[in-house]
Amino acid sequence: MVKRGKEEVQPRIVQLGPDTLSNHETQDTPPPDKNNATRIVRSISIRAPLERCFELITRQLEKTPDWDPMIMQVDPISIKHVRVGSMSRVAFNLSDANAFEEAIAMIRFFRPNKAISWASTHSTRLQEEWQVQHQPSGTIVTLILGYNPTGSLLRRLASRISLRRQLEKAVSETLENLKATAERPQ
């Protein structure tokens, strides 16, 4: 108890962290640095149900996906997954070299069977936003990849130019791999 004037007040202790966040499935907060990041946008038509495609996408921060060449390893931190605030340790490979970067990735936006986005905390500040739309022959999946390298102005410019080609290739490969996985009989 704490005395405030003539009253005794019970201090309120609030624990903050991904496992104490609300369990709401929808959060309308856009990913950070969206305006400053270089963005790559690609879509693909997949002959699979929207729910199947969305499930594969949402699980990529729980278990290392075999269809995403940029994600080398995933180690979940949060107890509850696939909601705003869920976090995982992720090893990324953003270039053709065998080098990779480790980061914490956090889900920033989640709308069931519509969209999910996450952002990482590594030197390239990677952001992925996935959108799914029903179409008569299956699902249209859109991937918006944003990246914002850190460092000096010259280094950031060089990184944006050199990484762009590699990431465009990786985004196309990711979508093709997702298509093959989603269309494969279960």
Integer Cα distance of 182 and 184 in angstroms: 6
Q: Is residue 113 part of a domain?
A: yes
Q: Is residue 108 part of a domain?
A: yes
Full domain range(s) for residue 72: 33-183
Integer Cα distance of 180 and 186 in angstroms: 12
Of 54, 118, 61, 50, nearest to 84 by C-alpha is 118
Q: Which residues of the chain are modeled with pLDDT < 70?
A: 1-37, 95-99, 122-124, 149-153, 155-156, 158-162
pLDDT of residue 19: 38
* pLDDT tens digit sequence for 75-112: 999 877 778 989 999 988 876 656 677 889 999 999 99
Q: Is residue 3 part of a domain?
A: no
Secondary structure class of 133 (helix, strand, coil): strand
pLDDT of residue 33: 46
Q: Is residue 162 part of a domain?
A: yes
pLDDT of residue 31: 41
CA of 82: how far to CAs of 24, 26, 86, 101, 164, in Å?
11, 11, 6, 23, 28
What tokens does 33 get?
Answer: 């640095």
DSSP line for 113-176:
TTEEEEEE-STT--EEEEEEEEETTEEEEEEEEEE---SSHHHHHHHHHHHHHHHHHHHHHHHH
pLDDT of residue 36: 63
Q: Is residue 131 part of a domain?
A: yes
The conformation of residue 27, written as its DSSP 8-state character, comes to B
Of 113, 129, 92, nearest to 48 by C-alpha is 113
What's the domain count of the chain?
Answer: 1
What tokens does 148 get?
Answer: 């914002």
pLDDT of residue 150: 65
Q: Is residue 5 part of a domain?
A: no
Q: Is residue 58 part of a domain?
A: yes
Integer Cα distance of 29 and 117 in angstroms: 10
Integer Cα distance of 79 and 89 in angstroms: 13
Domain CATH number, residue 111: 3.30.530.20
Q: Is residue 27 part of a domain?
A: no
11: left (phi over 0), alpha (psi -120 to 50) or beta: beta
